[in-house]
Structure 1
Amino acid sequence: MTFSYRLLIRLATPLVFIYLWLRGAKAAEYRQRWRERLALHALPAQARDGIVIHCVSVGETIAGRALIEAVLAAYPKLPVTLTSMTPTAAAIAQRFFGERVFHSYLPIDTPGAMKRFFRKLAPRMVVVLETEVWPCFVAEANRRGIPLLVVNARMSERSQHGYQRYAWLLGPVWQQLSFVAAQTAESEQRFRQLGVAPQQLAVRGNLKHDIQLAATLPQQANDWRQALQRPVLVAASTHDGEDEQVLSAFQTVLKVHPQALLILVPRHPERFTAVAQLIENAQLSYIRRSDNKPVTTTHQVFLADTMGELMLWYAIADGAFIGGSLIERGGHNPLEPIATETPIATGPHVFNFEQLFTRLKHVDGVALVNSAEALATTWSQWLTEPDTARAMALRAQHEFADDRGATKAILADIQRFLPSVEMTEQHRTMAMMTTVQPHKKSMIWYDPELLKECPVEYFSPSYWQAQGKVKGSATGRSTAFFIDQGDHDLLLRHYYRGGLVGKFNRDRFKREPIAESRAMAEFSLLLKLRELGLPVPRPVAAYYAQAPGWGYRADILVEVIPHTQDLFKLLQQRELTPAEWDTIGQAIRELHNANVYHSDLNCRNIMLDSAGKCWIVDFDKCDIRESGSWKEANLQRLLRSFNKELTKATNSESEFHFNEARDWPLLIAAYQR
């Protein structure tokens, strides 16, 4: 990402909103949800820490349907967020997946918008379908260490030349991708020439070969055919400049097959009304799908002005024309009508799917037309000679019969970058948490498996004291309270400032996004660490509240680990055994192997339970980061804490059973092993 790109995208942002407003004149949805275009909207906490899948528009959403279903099945406890650029894709996502996914528009590719987007979702992985690669988007994922995979990726020769021409503007966008699953060997080679490393490239085929027809589709199509009892042709994904040619061709067909019905499916919803006017101008009787009225014998054209039903129209039809090809748009994917065994006609401009159409031409699996007259001739022949049309459709289907498997291969790629953790019933993720907003300027997250409700009072020690539930307290920088909550003893901790600042500002922190505030950050981190099987306490609830005037205050409730003592208290009583030092060293190694940085690893934050298991607690200001020298710094901080307590005990003539020469090598030996 270059300075020039960052400047230009900022300057272009107002133009994007002008464009959305203008498109909104024909499709009102483009004038809605504008805050999402800058990532200024609120996203539910349950969408955090999951997987983001970007499908720019309808075609990518349909193509990715089987893959998205596979991801949902492979990661049942992780949230999945689908992003897109168009309202139609948003509608399709809702129709296909409903409440099983979250949906958001991908924001305009400014640095600020992308920072907000990633900050709010904090995804573990981003998957982009086809080639929707934006420099700030890629750079932000790369900066945060989030794997970004581009799958079902295609790269035409024309697109490659365009990217090469503007490489000075885009910067090293291709080199920052984690992995590219190309559709074809030709696309793979073009990605390599753009700078994607060979080890980050593979040919996986086309997801659309794995199209799964809905179980109800054959019966739906048969019901329609039985009701219509007439020849049916479909013109799918047509663009401005094609509809007139399609209608002209159909008028010619009607001279030979007067009972024929044309299902006309414009590519963009904002054109529905304009296309309806073209049908009227052609003096053809028509009905719109949105009218929700039956098609009668008097109707010659059926205007399919709804979304997500194209597969049904293909399944009904005796023949199909694929739009975007009589004009220089590049055509559309032929694999959907192939899946429904529908004969295909296309214009000459199919450079977006050149290889697919080359294969179809080779086996005579597609009819090539370059004018309205040629389309009329083809359609008429199919209706006159249905066996010829069916033979063409079967040749097309046979050509791609062995091309399935992209979904399975790409899912394996995803799992390689994000291994599926074998989650038990005890594992909990943000998708399972409940969020409530008790006041306008406060937020509570809690685990409904542990608490039926979580009022603000639960974060007040005086509330529990009044209930007689406080069992004890622990002191450090501040007091933490042990609370008797039936089956789950809880630890309530308020966040205080330390150091010199803490002397005049006890507990206010500079305001930041709620999800990144002290309590919420620790809460979500503990969930992730437990998912990884690390020995940390279970988070129960977290509270954020804006303080009057400036800053915020925070509290957290965690589950008490039963029958434990911290090392500080144990060493006041006795020496630790070699086996116990071994257990401690292994626990720290386990934490570091997962690249977990503990900001305050000291003898008070390491505990041993009655069974000899080591636990690590207090993950305030901790995170998962790239491996580095901080691991050794963590160990040295722990050693300093032992020696500090030893010095204090010596000065006060009390006991602290730690000997660096004797004990520390035992811990380090276990850590290094």
Structure 2
Amino acid sequence: MKQTLARGLYGWALRLATPLYLLKLWRRGAAEPLYRAHWGERLGLYRGPAAEPGRLWLHAVSLGETRAAAPLIAALRAERPGLRLLLTHGTATGREAGQALLQPGDAQAWLPYDTPGATRRFLRHWRPAVGVLMETEIWPSLQHSARRAGLPMVLANARLSEKSLRQGRRLAALMRPAAGALSLALAQTEADGQRLAQAGVPRWERSGNLKYDLRPDEALLARGRAWRAALGRPVLLGAVTREGEEIALLRAFQRRYAERSGAERPLLLIVPRHPQRFDEVAGLVQAQGLSLARRSAWGETPPPEAARAEVWLGDSLREMSLYYGLADLALLGGSFAPLGGQNLIEAAACGCPLLMGPHTFNFAEAAELAQQAGAARRVADLDEALAQAQALLGEAGAERSAMAQAAQQFAAAHRGAAKRMAARILELMPA
């Protein structure tokens, strides 16, 4: 009774908030036009007759989850040729990246807003055979509708931090039934699996992390290394930074190199996590009195004036391999503020050594393993990070080279999750 009441109140709250949700999407669409496309799908409304049943439905909410899904989709297709896929997303960057994963016969849509009616309409229209949610995407109304429809649901590459577990306990009447509606969770780590079980997931297995199976784009990696060779000075990367970290990094950079001329400083390269913040971060750089060059302003080769800039802004999408190839050393975004850290595995696969802040709970095991392997180091704050960076980019260059080699070995040692997960998901599919 308590769970039914909680789900009912949740559904009504989302219905009442729907106009605000749509207004938010419209505003985001001013910078990212894809948000203004296919609006009916956000409400579970689709054109044309219902789809032919039997697709494998995979939901990858944003860019990171979509990229992580790529090796899983490849493994699924290798095991089941002719597999028809429905790929859903919640963000414009995710949907844009997902287009490259589609083959003839596949479909792509927005995952609808999590109201009871929208989720029922979604499942009635698409009639998938199995649903796969990436990483953390458990939605109460969607899970309830899937259970009523008899749809097996898998949480792939699943993770759950201690913080998220505590938050879920405060909403146990709503979230515990949603977790309990999963057929299987394929956890990244043993600790993730244990926490998922505490959250109410009835069955889980440790399968590893799909991000280890992602391979760098070799062409972009080579281009980045060529740019680095042409620059003739070290490059320090702020990798996938979050709000608040850029200004702190710029100030720490100014303090560390205040007595040095521009030619004696490394090039500071900043790649923000969210595209809508590119202009904001450019403004922060200029407000600090630093000369700026933006990646979006040139094509295959940086112009001479860019080479003289103190800061480069990586304001492009799907070029992280280029940026890691360009960098001698990276500072892990999201780890210098209490945000849990960004994906450090991609940097390791590109052979880029890392300095991590104190907050890496989103990738706790990977951070610990990278540190043990010598691919990454933990620092207390950005001032310590800049101090270590100065040493590693200077006289301690041999240590940095050893870290780069250790990074590639660390990434290669943990591959194989995609094949394991594909086998378990296909067991739930009709023959």
Fold match (TM-score > 0.5): yes
The residue number in structure 2 matching 1:13 is 18
In the alignment, is residue 339 of structure 1 matched against residue 349 of structure 2? Answer: yes
TM-score (structure 1 length as normaliser)? 0.58
Question: Is residue 181–residue 204 contact of structure 1 (8 Å, CA) maintained in 2?
Answer: yes
Question: Is residue 51–residue 127 contact of structure 2 (8 Å, CA) maintained in 1?
Answer: no
Q: Distance in 2 between matches of 1:298 and 1:48?
A: 58
Q: Distance in 2 between matches of 1:171 and 1:218?
A: 43
Question: Is residue 43–residue 121 contact of structure 1 (8 Å, CA) maintained in 2?
Answer: no
SS at match of 1:213: coil
Question: Is residue 352–residue 407 contact of structure 2 (8 Å, CA) maintained in 1?
Answer: no
Spell out, residue by residue over 1:494-546, the C-alpha distance to the aligned partner (whole angstroms, 9 max, x if none).
Answer: xxxxxxxxxxxxxxxxxxxxxxxxxxxxxxxxxxxxxxxxxxxxxxxxxxxxx
Q: Distance in 1 between matches of 2:120 and 2:348?
A: 42
Q: Name the structure where helix makes up a greater proportion of residues.
A: 2
In the alignment, is residue 265 of structure 1 matched against residue 274 of structure 2? Answer: no
Post-superposition shift, 1:416? 1.0
In the alignment, is residue 350 of structure 1 matched against residue 352 of structure 2? Answer: no
Mean CA deviation greater in 350-359 or 223-232:
223-232
Please list, as runs of the form range in 1=range in 2, the aligned pairs for 1:241-640 lying within 5 A after superposition.
Answer: 241-251=244-254, 252-253=256-257, 255=260, 258=264, 260-293=266-299, 294-295=301-302, 296=304, 297-384=307-394, 385-399=396-410, 401-418=412-429, 421=431
Q: Distance in 2 between matches of 1:166 and 1:348?
A: 28
Cα 1:372–1:191 change in 2 (3 A) is closer
Q: Distance in 1 between matches of 2:280 and 2:349?
A: 30
In the alignment, is residue 211 of structure 1 matched against residue 214 of structure 2? Answer: yes
Q: Distance in 1 between matches of 2:352 and 2:49?
A: 43
Spell out, residue by residue over 1:256-303, the C-alpha distance to the aligned partner (whole angstroms, 9 max, x if none).
Answer: 763632221111111011111111112222222222254232222221
Q: Distance in 1 between matches of 2:143 and 2:341?
A: 28
- 2:351 maps to a residue whose letter is E
Spell out, residue by residue over 1:174-196, the C-alpha distance to the aligned partner (whole angstroms, 9 max, x if none).
Answer: 22111110111111111111222
Question: Is residue 119–residue 145 contact of structure 2 (8 Å, CA) maintained in 1?
Answer: yes
In the alignment, is residue 186 of structure 1 matched against residue 191 of structure 2? Answer: yes
Post-superposition shift, 1:131? 1.3
Post-superposition shift, 1:166? 0.3
Post-superposition shift, 1:87? 0.5
Cα 1:214–1:399 change in 2 (3 A) is closer
The residue number in structure 1 matching 2:149 is 144
Q: Distance in 2 between matches of 1:98 and 1:279?
A: 42
Q: Distance in 2 between matches of 1:97 and 1:243?
A: 35
Q: Distance in 1 between matches of 2:65 and 2:206?
A: 18
Cα 1:345–1:271 change in 2 (3 A) is same
TM-score (structure 2 length as normaliser)? 0.89
Q: Distance in 2 between matches of 1:241 and 1:43?
A: 46
SS at match of 1:64: helix
Post-superposition shift, 1:387? 1.4
Spell out, residue by residue over 1:580-599, the C-alpha distance to the aligned partner (whole angstroms, 9 max, x if none).
Answer: xxxxxxxxxxxxxxxxxxxx
In the alignment, is residue 225 of structure 1 matched against residue 228 of structure 2? Answer: yes
Question: Is residue 161–residue 361 contact of structure 2 (8 Å, CA) maintained in 1?
Answer: yes
Question: Is residue 92–residue 307 contact of structure 1 (8 Å, CA) maintained in 2?
Answer: no
Post-superposition shift, 1:312? 2.0
Q: Distance in 2 between matches of 1:4 and 1:388?
A: 57
SS at match of 1:302: strand
SS at match of 1:276: helix
Post-superposition shift, 1:151? 0.8
Question: Is residue 253–residue 379 contact of structure 1 (8 Å, CA) maintained in 2?
Answer: no
Please list, as runs of the form range in 1=range in 2, the aligned pairs for 1:64-143 lying within 5 A after superposition.
Answer: 64-97=69-102, 101-143=106-148
Q: Distance in 2 between matches of 1:310 and 1:111?
A: 38
Post-superposition shift, 1:400? 5.2
Cα 1:353–1:138 change in 2 (3 A) is same
Q: Distance in 1 between matches of 2:219 and 2:257?
A: 31
Q: Considering only aligned residues, what root-mean-square deviation do their CA atoms show, in Å? A: 2.4
Cα 1:4–1:101 change in 2 (3 A) is same
The higher-RCO structure (CA 8 Å, 6+ apart) is: 2
The residue number in structure 2 matching 1:657 is none
Post-superposition shift, 1:237? 1.3
Question: Is residue 366–residue 392 contact of structure 1 (8 Å, CA) maintained in 2?
Answer: yes
SS at match of 2:336: coil
Cα 1:190–1:371 change in 2 (3 A) is closer
Post-superposition shift, 1:399? 4.4
Q: Distance in 2 between matches of 1:392 and 1:406?
A: 24
Q: Match for 1:235 among 234, 238, 242?
A: 238
Post-superposition shift, 1:253? 4.5
The residue number in structure 2 matching 1:480 is none
Report the structure number with the largest CA radius of gyration: 1
Cα 1:357–1:215 change in 2 (3 A) is closer
SS at match of 1:132: coil
The residue number in structure 2 matching 1:195 is 200
Question: Is residue 360–residue 367 contact of structure 2 (8 Å, CA) maintained in 1?
Answer: yes
Spell out, residue by residue over 1:448-495, the C-alpha distance to the aligned partner (whole angstroms, 9 max, x if none).
Answer: xxxxxxxxxxxxxxxxxxxxxxxxxxxxxxxxxxxxxxxxxxxxxxxx
SS at match of 1:172: helix
Q: Distance in 2 between matches of 1:221 and 1:98?
A: 30
Spell out, residue by residue over 1:14-62, the C-alpha distance to the aligned partner (whole angstroms, 9 max, x if none).
Answer: 3322332444455444344322211223378777531111111111111
Spell out, residue by residue over 1:411-437, the C-alpha distance to the aligned partner (whole angstroms, 9 max, x if none).
Answer: 110121115x4xxxxxxxxxxxxxxxx
